[in-house]
């Protein structure tokens, strides 16, 4: 891929809402199913100039709504690794919520395996460990069933979902995203060298504490778990505590990276 082509691709996939030219670390944010880069705009502002926040914009939504949706984790990871390739020379941390946690984890695995890149760390939110399984079939439901699941998790303003035009606009990417994450199967392999921080809501129906704790099985680095009051989208009401947890993890990741490894 030529440099102009890669720049054009990066422009479609990456959003930066706050310049951070002097940042010591780059946080790459992976949205949830049906989510968009703008979901992380408040977080980008909260982390301030010390952290460069790059938010992924998946195809099939907002300004990319006319592009074909992706419906496998592998297809997402292929594209994301291409886009992030030129940026792997600087300190990186991945942060993914729900489906974004799976994409962040698999992208980290790919980069470590193929490019010998050591992330500073991986932060996952609202998702059980990939070593656990649940049989989920939201992607097989009719349109009303998919919308009902989104409403159950409080991921989108219910009033917006009453609008037929908005439903018609978001359903294709929702169904494709659910297809990708619900047909994903973890493949055994070497654990990540990067440490993992897990964030979870204490009333999240999508992940139990035991399922969250099993993220420790997929890393040989450090492991931390933080629980917050709330359901699947606890981040919406816990922005301050979540920002502090992220800041603490970023500091811990940088300290660990600066220490000699045994």
Q: For residue range 171-189, list pLDDT tens digits in order.
A: 999 999 999 999 999 999 9
pLDDT for the residue 19: 87
Mean pLDDT check: name the lowest of 2-16, 202-216, 248-262.
248-262
The edge-to-edge listing of strands for the beta sheet with 121-125 is 14-15, 51-56, 25-30, 92-97, 121-125, 196-201, 223-228
Closest to 152 (Cα-Cα) out of 202, 203, 111, 199:
203
Q: How many CA atoms lie within 13 A of 142 on its CB side?
A: 1
Q: How many CA atoms lie within 13 A of 196 on its CB side?
A: 29
Q: Average of pLDDT values for 189-200?
A: 96
Mean pLDDT check: name the lowest of 43-52, 63-72, 92-101, 151-160.
151-160
pLDDT for the residue 68: 96
Q: Average of pLDDT values for 132-155?
A: 89
Cα distances (angstroms) measured from residue 102 to each of 150, 177, 206, 258: 18, 12, 13, 27
Looking up tokens 């100039």, which residue turns up? 49
pLDDT for the residue 20: 87
Is 63 within 8 Å of 23 (Cβ atoms)? no
The helix (run of H) or strand (run of E) holding residue 9 is: helix 3-13
The helix (run of H) or strand (run of E) holding residue 79 is: helix 73-84
Q: What residues form DSSP beta bridges with 54?
A: 28
- The three state secondary structure string of 176-219 is HHHHHHHCCCCCCCCCECCCEEEEEECCCCCCCHHHHHHHHHHE
Q: For residue range 28-74, list pLDDT tens digits in order.
A: 999 999 999 999 999 999 998 889 999 999 999 999 999 999 999 99
Report the chain's terminal Cα–Cα distance, integer Å: 38
Q: Average of pLDDT values for 86-91?
A: 84
pLDDT at 1 over 90: no
pLDDT for the residue 155: 62
Whole-number mean pLDDT of the chain? 91
194 is catalytic: no
DSSP-derived letter for residue 222 is: -
Q: What residues form DSSP beta bridges with 226?
A: 199
pLDDT for the residue 202: 96
Structure tokens at 229: 């009051």
pLDDT for the residue 173: 93
pLDDT at 160 over 80: no
**Catalytic site residue from 44, 98, 129, 194:** 98
pLDDT at 210 over 90: yes
Closest to 16 (Cα-Cα) out of 58, 43, 45, 54:
54
Residue ranges and CATH numbers for the domains of the chain are 3-134+190-258 (3.40.50.1820)
pLDDT for the residue 166: 81
pLDDT at 158 over 60: no
- d(Cα 53, Cα 154) in Å, to the nearest integer? 25
Give percent of the chain above pLDDT 90.
74
pLDDT at 170 over 90: no
pLDDT at 207 over 60: yes
- The three state secondary structure string of 80-148 is HHHHHHHHCCCCEEEEEECHHHHHHHHHHHHHHHHHCCCCCEEEEECCCCCCCCCCCCHHHCCHHHHHH
């Amino acid at each position: 891929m030529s440099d102009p082509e890669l720049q054009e691709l990066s422009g479609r996939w990456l959003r930066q809402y706050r310049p951070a030219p002097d940042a010591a670390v780059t946080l790459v944010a992976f949205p949830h199913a049906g989510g968009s880069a703008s979901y992380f705009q408040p977080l980008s502002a909260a982390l301030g100039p010390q952290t460069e926040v790059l938010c992924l914009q998946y195809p099939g939504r907002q300004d990319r709504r006319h592009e074909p949706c992706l419906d496998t984790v592998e297809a997402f990871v292929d594209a994301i690794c291409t886009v992030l390739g030129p940026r792997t020379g600087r300190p990186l941390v991945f942060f993914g919520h729900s489906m974004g946690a799976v994409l962040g984890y698999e992208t980290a695995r790919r980069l470590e395996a193929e490019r010998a890149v050591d992330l500073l760390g991986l932060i996952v939110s609202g998702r059980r460990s990939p070593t656990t399984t649940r049989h989920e079939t939201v992607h097989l439901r009719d349109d009303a069933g998919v919308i009902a699941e989104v409403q159950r998790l409080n991921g989108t303003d219910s009033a917006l979902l009453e609008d037929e035009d908005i439903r018609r606009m978001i359903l294709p990417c929702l169904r494709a995203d659910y297809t990708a994450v619900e047909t994903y199967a973890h493949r055994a392999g070497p654990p990540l060298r990067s440490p993992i921080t897990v964030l979870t809501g204490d009333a999240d129906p999508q992940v139990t504490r035991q399922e969250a704790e099993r993220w420790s099985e997929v890393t040989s680095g450090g492991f931390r778990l933080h629980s917050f009051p709330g359901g699947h989208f606890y981040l919406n009401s816990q922005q301050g505590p979540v920002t502090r947890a992220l800041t603490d993890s970023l500091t811990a990741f940088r300290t660990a990276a600066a220490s000699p490894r045994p």
